[in-house]
Amino acid sequence: MFIKNALYQLILWFLAAWRDLTHKEIAARSGRTPGQIDQLLSRKRNTPVEETDFQQLLAAMRVQPTHAAITAGWLESLTALDAEDGLTPGEREAVELWLLGDLRERRRAAAEIARRSREAPPLDEYPRSEHVEPARWRAGIQLVILRGLKEDERLAAVKSIRRFQSWSLAEAVADESTRCASKSIKQADAWARLAVEIAERVQGPEGWLKRVRGYAAAAAPNVRRVQGHFDAAEAGLAAANELWLAGSDPDGILDPGRLLDFEASLLRAQRRCGEALDRLAEARQVSRRPGRVLVNRGTTLIVMGVHEQAVETLLEAETLVDRKADPQLWYKLKANLAVCYAQVSRYHEAAELEELVRAEAARLGDENELVRLTWVRGRIAAGLGRTREACRQLEKVLEGLRAQELWYDMALAFLELAELLLREGKKAEVRALTPVLADVFKAKKVYPEALTALRFFSDAAESGAADQDLARRVLAFLLRARHEKGLRFES
């Protein structure tokens, strides 16, 4: 109790000085005598200040309770500098200065939120142009809040809080699903389902609602595509596209290229790369995110093995992708460039990019991309003649791809590693590696013609008949089989 009263006195004393009020002025405003005010505010006499006195004197000074709370926080920070908490004086000072900077940043953000809240757009009409940017800004803040909640809590929020039922939040949550798809299928799926829940609760003109629901509905098929469930992805995209085409968005607020971009990714996964490039050409004409479309095109060209064209496309995309605005797309672009440079023997450029991108992927926690970058690192080492290092990196890749159940990629990495080992005449080591293919065969996620080639190589390795030339030939076949249907492996 004594500490609490002492803090009251310090706060009143400071605020009186800050307002430049004399004890006589405070006495006149509070109905007390100057002597009573002297007793309460004198630092030397240390007279206890009760709660009722504290509140009355704050009112007399015409300050808000917030002023008192801020002063209390300031006093607590001063007290913390002298605390015995196991830190050195220098460490304690660094902590308090960091907290002070953090407080300033929070104050700035809170003031921005308060200002923007005046511009809250209507939730039941087609958005006017002046409302689009404020709506997306609010959705960004709401998305941060949702990220901090558990899945069931997110659902409860969007079901019960009206301001969480906007087109802009449906858009932001659907886009969050897309961002998560390369890192966590479970999270991507959860965000996709939440986007649909929000979209179903958006109000406004019927045509606009269909567009919003079509946009949100496209997120789940994209997740199915990443999972390898291509039939489900195709059916889901068709349903989303039907909603989209039946709707209306005269000002093109929602990205008209997004569904085309998703469809191109699915076509690539279905080994229909020519059609995928056609869709991407359509998307490029209308997309709000042309950089994303170009990165997708570059990825498709890599799958097709046209690496020089892929480099041209990705370099064009560099001018359209903002690292700060979309760090994930930026490092995927750079990672694709690193892949291309490694494939066309530009190893030093590939190495520089690999190191740069690895730091960004690690910062964002993208484990899938880190495995891919390790693969690039292995290819660089192989290209520079550092076979032992290349083998070590590819062994890590095999382990990572196995954990992610990316069986086709695992088969490709296995063959790259086998080729390197056979180049060194290490047939026994290749034979020892062949059991890792058991999961690939069991999963049945590899194209039948590719599986035939892979089984042929596995049998040859087991018998000791495999050589570097065979490994290279089977690897080339599997790379072609990713985008060419109807191939037949000739043993």
Backbone CA torsion sign across 54, 60, 64, 70: negative
CA distance 374 to 392: 10
Spatial distance between the Cα atoms of 246 and 376, rounded to a whole number of angstroms: 44
State the angle between helix axes of 65-81 and 89-117 in degrees (0 to 180), rounded to the nearest 10.
160
Domains recognised in the chain with CATH numbers:
1-80 (1.10.260.40), 417-491 (no CATH)
In this structure, the number of other CB atoms found within 10 A of the CB of residue 58 comes to 19
Count of Cβ atoms closer than 10 Å to residue 278 Cβ: 14
Contacts of 192 (CB under 8 A, 6+ apart): 174, 177, 219, 220, 222, 223
- Alpha carbon distance 384, 20 (integer Å): 75
The answer to whether residues 357 and 372 touch, using CB atoms and an 8 Å cutoff, is no
Q: Label residues 162-189 b or e (16+ Cβ within 10 Å = b).
A: eebbbbbbbbbbbbbbbbbbbbebebbb
Tracing tokens 């087109």 back to the chain, one arrives at 167
DSSP code string of 392-423: HHHHHHHHHHHHHT-HHHHHHHHHHHHHHHHH
CA atoms of 126 and 148, how far apart (whole Å): 30
CB half-sphere exposure, 391, CA atoms < 13 A: 15
Based on its alpha-carbon atoms, the radius of gyration of the chain, rounded to whole angstroms, reads 31
Residue 249 · residue 212 · CB < 8 Å: no
End-to-end CA distance of the chain: 89
> Is the CB of residue 450 less than 8 Å from the CB of residue 477?
yes
Instruction: For 423-461, give one letter per residue: b (16+ CB within 10 A) or e.
Output: eeebbebbbebbebbeebeeeeebbebbbbbbbbbbebb
- CA-nearest of 473, 66, 20, 409 to 226 is 409
CA distances from 335 to 138, 297, 340, 370, 374 (A): 32, 14, 9, 10, 11
d(CA 233, CA 235): 6
- Residue with structure tokens 């740069």? 356
Number of neighbouring beta carbons within 10 Å of residue 120: 13
**Contacts for 234-240: CB closer than 8 Å, 24+ residues apart:** 234/266, 234/270, 237/262, 237/263, 237/266, 240/214, 240/215
Q: Which of 371, 379, 305, 301 is nearest to 347 (CA)?
A: 379
Residues 461, 465, 467: CA angle, nearest 5 degrees? 80
Question: The tokens 């890590």 sit on which residue?
Answer: 396
What is the full per-residue pLDDT of the chain (491 aa) written as tens digits?
Answer: 334 556 787 888 888 888 888 888 888 888 888 888 888 777 665 667 788 888 888 888 888 877 888 888 777 777 777 776 777 777 777 777 777 776 666 666 555 655 555 556 777 889 998 889 989 999 999 999 999 999 999 999 999 999 999 999 999 999 999 999 888 889 999 999 999 999 999 999 999 999 999 999 999 999 999 988 999 999 999 999 999 999 999 999 999 999 999 999 999 999 999 999 999 999 999 999 999 999 999 999 999 999 999 999 999 999 999 988 888 899 999 999 999 999 999 999 999 999 999 988 888 778 788 899 999 999 999 999 999 999 999 999 999 999 888 889 999 999 999 999 999 999 999 999 999 888 888 877 778 888 999 999 999 999 999 999 999 999 999 999 888 888 888 87
d(CA 78, CA 82): 7
Cα 87 to chain center, whole Å? Answer: 35
The per-residue pLDDT for 3 is 40
Q: How far apart are CA 416 and CA 379, in angstroms?
A: 9
**Can you give the pTM of this predicted structure?**
0.74
